[in-house]
A and B are shown apart, each in its own frame.
Chain A
Amino acid sequence: MKIFISFVRKEFHHIIRDKRTMLILLGMPIVQILLFGFAITTEVNNVNVVVLDHSKDDITRKIKERIAASDYFNIIGEVDNQENINSVLLKGDANLVIAFSNDFASNLKKGGDASIQLIADGTEPNQASMEVNYISGILNSVVSEGSNNIDKITIIPQVKMLYNPQLKSAYNFVPGVMGMILMLICAMMTSIAIVREREIGTMEILLVSPLKPIIIIISKMIPYCVLSILNLISILLLSVYVLDVPIAGNIFLLFSVSLIFIILALSLGLLISTLVDTQMAAMLASGMGLMMPVIILSGLMFPIESMPKILQYISAIIPARWYIEAIKKIMIQGVEFQYVIKEIFILSIMTISLILVSLKKFKTKLN
């Protein structure tokens, strides 16, 4: 036991000595959480709008005022003819043009042709749809205030946004960042650390010591495990106190699931280390083979449901996907244990099989 502890201590020294890497390992989650929390948002904000209005009457003025008053839009100017609309959008000065028909108000009162044309820059389809959606909401409210037509049948949808009423992007990103950071530190770092020791040749010295090889490996993993738990805590603290993303569910459940995932990632790191011989290869293998799929296919950035079926199947074998899903449910939706049984079950099966495979590979590698 004493030897084991001194081994663990030695590993800690190794990690702490490389200041730059330490700084990045501890700083990366913080920077990412802050970026994802504040800067990266799919919300519609500050959209520049240009208006074409020959009518210039009460109603168009009212509509323009409402649009300018909303957080979503800035009216940056007017154009006076149809031809200029295209060039405004082409230059990218504005993303949306609102064109009122002539004599808008009087036509509206007469029931004639009061039309509005929205010309949107559709480059980013979701943004465009949301912009149009918000504008038509504003138009409807202005018009319905002006009319008292009770004959018309209206079905009023009462909308309730569950779990994320303010529609903050952070709610979606925080669990993803947790999954990515844990994967990065546990799998990538451990695999590189083990391979480096082998590359330098010091592994041989360790292996002839009285400790069992597996104990040596475990002592290598413990510092990274501690480091990732530290990161986990800092991510949670930041998201609760800085991003105002509450932990809606049970925090013990959250930590237990994270622990399963950490063990999974560590054994994945061990597995990679047995498959490659050089640090460079370990880095590329974990970079291309782990980080890319985690970033792309785990639901961290892109919704899995929108992917083609084949990619959905592939994403099912990516552990981070199940972890992120479980964390979303526990942390954001605040569900009980019974609703994440599926995710926990899948993660446990993956963990057990990875441990078995990596141990087997590790043993054959030793011989």
Chain B
Amino acid sequence: MIRFLLEKEFKQIFRNKFIPKMLIMMPLMIMFVLPWAANQEVKDIRLGVVNYDNREISNRLIDKITSSDYFILVDDYLSAREANDAVERGDIDMILEIPNNFEKEMIRSHNVKVMIATNSVNGTKGVLGTSYLSSIINDYSNDITINHGIIAGKSNINLSVKYLFNVLMDYKVFMIPALIVMLLTMLSGFLPALNIVSEKEVGTIEQINVSPINRLTFVLSKLIPYWVIGIVIMSVCLIVAALVYNLLPAGNVFTIYLFSILYILVVSGLGIVLSNYSDTMQQAMFVMFFFVMILMLMSGLYTPISGMPDWARYITIVNPLKYYIEVMRSVYLKGSTFFDLIPQFYALVVFALFFNCWAVISYKKRN
């Protein structure tokens, strides 16, 4: 029986005016646009300089700063006021102000100040920009110390830093595995739900309801096509990640598939629950938009969960996206094995059972 229903669903999907376009556009956006757009990398910070001193040492400092990758020198300003105006207009992000007598004071007391002012509306950018600039200035002062034969010697800690898992500190590497999560959520969770609501709204679902088809068969016939599409498109994305971004999972690709299938069960259950409670497409769309928003924001996709206040972190415990994102990132970047991910596995199993039971209970063939 289900064979006939599946035939119908596949035909309807591919005949639809929008769904096939969406099935192509969405992965394209997610794999080719989003990784570049969703880039919180801080570089090319636009710097304005006010150099009241304007002598050799201060000029060399400015040269050193502009030769780094992080900063672009936009302009020299004559006064702090002028530079401030430039920040207000949005021409520059940071001001470095070198006071008069900078060089003299340095020779006299070995201890001088410079002023840094940063537009910190975007906090991350403010912090990182400031710290990059400070560390260049710090290096520079060490250079001078050594060049002038003043031995720092004592009390110097040798600090070395090593970054694991994302050695090149590439933001795209961080985002891509998580973006695949977003894709699966939309494809296998929300599209079938919208599909069911649309049959409800048009009324064709009544014709199915008076037939001997049982509810599981009907719901399965709605889900299976999107499961298949989800897995196929995900596989394409994995290949694109490998070919275009040179990003291969450090762990086992089967672990990824295992968790993906489990996750698909979770989101399609959630989708069915949503569809059971909505009568019109418009309603369903808004409810979904609302939930997607919350689920994504609270999943650690863009911003770290560790930074959230306690109450928010408790909420993330009931967010299935969080676990799957953790899995994808761990397998891709850290090479985690299934055994490392057992907590996430259990969590997803619980979600799958919960949503699917709820879906079956709330599905009404009659009232």
Contact = CB atoms under 8 A, between A and B. Distances in A.
Direct chain A–B contact by Cβ atoms under 8 Å: yes
Interface of A: 18, 20-21, 24-25, 27-28, 31-32, 35-36, 38-48, 86, 89-92, 95, 108-109, 111, 113-130, 132-133, 136, 139, 143-144, 146-147, 149-165, 167-169, 171-172, 184, 192, 196, 279-281, 283-284, 287-288, 291-292, 296-297, 301-303, 305-308, 311, 325, 328-329, 332-333, 335-336, 339
Given A147-B155, A172-B123, A296-B37, A38 B312 contact: yes
A151 B290 CA distance: 61
Given A115-B158, A130-B128, A153-B145, A329 B88 contact: yes
B131 interface: yes
A152 B25 CA distance: 59
B45 to A, nearest CB: 8
A164 B121 contact: yes
Contacts of A151: 110, 145, 150-152
Contacts of B38: 296, 301-302
Contacts of B118: 159-162
19 contacts: A38-B308, A43-B307, A45-B306, A89-B334, A122-B166, A123-B174, A125-B166, A129-B131, A144-B155, A153-B106, A167-B127, A287-B285, A288-B25, A296-B34, A303-B122, A305-B44, A306-B40, A307-B39, A339-B89
Contacts, number: 320
B37 A311 contact: yes
A185 to B, nearest CB: 11
Given A38-B312, A160-B116, A281 B18 contact: yes
A125 B44 contact: no
B148 interface: yes
Given A117-B162, A301-B38, A329-B90, A164 B123 contact: yes
Contacts of A339: 88-90
A139 B126 CA distance: 21
A108 B152 CA distance: 12
A95 B156 CA distance: 26
Contacts of B106: 153, 155
A287 B161 CA distance: 44
B9 interface: no
A46 B329 CA distance: 20
Interface of B: 17-18, 22, 25-26, 29, 33-34, 36-44, 46, 61, 87-90, 93, 106, 110-128, 130-131, 133-134, 137-138, 140-141, 144-145, 148, 150-167, 169-171, 174, 198, 278, 281-283, 285-287, 289-290, 293-294, 297-298, 302-304, 306-309, 312, 315, 326, 329-330, 333-336, 340
Contact of B174 (A45, A124, A167, A333): A124
A39 B141 contact: no
